[in-house]
Structure 1
């Protein structure tokens, strides 16, 4: 009798586990939507949105400092934090307004500095052509991309409208994929992700949202399943200028303890040598006797 009751409990427990797994699988299976979001979506309920979002692409900024309509997205950090907390993989995008090669380089550096370290990939939103860029759009696009390549080993994606790509003959072959908008029909230019509407609905988001469909599942999944591995500088000549590509800190020790000061992105520091922390991680010893990270995702030489 005791054995019979025990078997009933085991059986009931098994059913409960199967039920829980089924519910969990169903919830995961329902996460099929891909949306790009910005401050214009207001305060997103990421707990609700995570139930339906397979992927989110979060705006970081619009334009570059000096542009009359330059804006750093006020919800970029909140959205990145919310997506991370509720398990929604996300990339981030940069709405650009290039007017020179130097502007494209500056734009990429600022975008990267403002982006989240948890972003799986980065996207260039290239849909606004300034008059001075006539005939040079590809040059500026290439400059932005090469700068991003120097800053990160994560995938870098090209976004625009079908009409823009066609009219300006933009080559996207050097990117890790394309994300193209066209609301009337599937794009007739090469695309891996198709933004098909600007009036979609997503649970947890008030109002409309841009939604996209996967065209090449292998390519798109490689963006958000990408795992970035930290790489470190292994040697450096004394006197070399090192630039912070994100906001970092200077410390008293090679273990990065005893914070001395904050360092803004694009600040130039003078290196003395590469040293190791107590666990063998490379650090940069500066000529002023303080230490910073040697992680290439945070610092670089030029």
Structure 2
């Protein structure tokens, strides 16, 4: 579970990021600051923190990080990288793990079983003994982490565990239906931590953290790659105190990457470019409330309660009722504002997101 480190500006993030990741963190990622923890809250479903590497080595950052994350409201579980040499040693490791973590009330405990260190008896028996001991100590869920090949060769059973966390670094969903959490990458760049980490995602409706995000609290989003937007004056870059230059709020900027993050009132963070130059990341709530230039938009639906009007040469033409779907064929500019061209009619309509929404 040791992640390689690299820095990436304007990384391409596509719609596959719609599922918030679960990060597993240890001293390899360093200490987490309070500001980083606040950002993480909107970026991840939760984190799983390493507590120890065997009984004799306590993770150097666990106590600090768990306190900071708890204060920020980030959900967390804990794991132990197992080094037991026998069934009795496995029980002792479980006790030490529990004693080091219990005061911080993790939501679950994980046995990271990926190295066969057993010298007496079998690894399978020791791994089961670990689970039996942990189940006797806590009423929280107890999970097993491993690779498929290692599990098949050395463990062979999930007896005593409440679920399975599978490590498989591949683009397609691994076969089998015996796992709930899939570690799919060891190098996913995280905006809050400014480094790459291991990343996992739950399969189906599984969620070991036991809660779901109220998406109604994050209504701002819906942007697509390649869309042209304008940014509100005074906007601060996501995760920073720096404001975007006022001159850049008066020109068209293009969306080159999108990441699903629940922050402020936004469900997206956008990486924006001026031509070929990356400007930075902003939240969807900081985009002006109009659709500007997206070639994929062919239809819009009227959502304003009292409807909208079509216009020609600045004069109102026809009233369109709420719920009506209109075909559009591009954009025009009137009085400094972008407006949709009403396909085949020679008129234009508002592009304000408060009045219309894009439909397929």
Shorter-chain TM-score bucket reads 0.5 to 0.7
Cα contact 1:31–1:50 (8 A) shared by 2? no
Structure-2 residue corresponding to 1:46: 37
Report the alpha carbon displacement of residue 60 of structure 1 after superposing the two structures with TM.
Answer: 0.1
Write out per-residue CA displacement over residues 1-26 of structure 1, whole angstroms, 9 at most, x where no aligned residue.
Answer: xxxxxxxxxxxxxxxxxxxxxxxxxx
Cα contact 1:37–1:58 (8 A) shared by 2? yes
In 1, Cα distance between the equivalents of 2:87 and 2:159?
A: 19
How does 1:1-302 map onto structure 2 within 5 Å?
Answer: 32-44=20-32, 45-65=36-56, 71-115=57-101, 116-130=103-117, 132=119, 136-184=122-170, 185-189=172-176, 190-218=178-206, 221=207, 223-225=208-210
In 2, Cα distance between the equivalents of 1:31 and 1:84?
A: 22
- Structure 2, unmatched stretches of 5+, are 1-16, 212-360
Report the alpha carbon displacement of residue 130 of structure 1 after superposing the two structures with TM.
Answer: 1.7
Q: Output the aligned Cα RMSD.
A: 2.1
TM-score of the two chains, using structure 1 as the length reference:
0.59
In 2, Cα distance between the equivalents of 1:206 and 1:79?
A: 16
Q: Any idea what SS the aligned residue of 1:217 has?
A: coil
Report the alpha carbon displacement of residue 31 of structure 1 after superposing the two structures with TM.
Answer: 8.3
Bigger share in helix? 1
For this pair of structures, how many residues does the alignment match?
A: 189
Cα contact 1:104–1:141 (8 A) shared by 2? yes
- Structure 1, unmatched stretches of 5+, are 1-28, 66-70, 227-302
Q: Any idea what SS the aligned residue of 2:78 has?
A: strand
In 2, Cα distance between the equivalents of 1:59 and 1:100?
A: 21
Write out per-residue CA displacement over residues 174-221 of structure 1, whole angstroms, 9 at most, x where no aligned residue.
Answer: 311110101024333421000000001222213220000111423xx2
Higher Rg of the two aligned structures: 2
Cα contact 1:158–1:178 (8 A) shared by 2? yes
Q: Any idea what SS the aligned residue of 1:194 has?
A: strand
In 1, Cα distance between the equivalents of 2:154 and 2:175?
A: 15
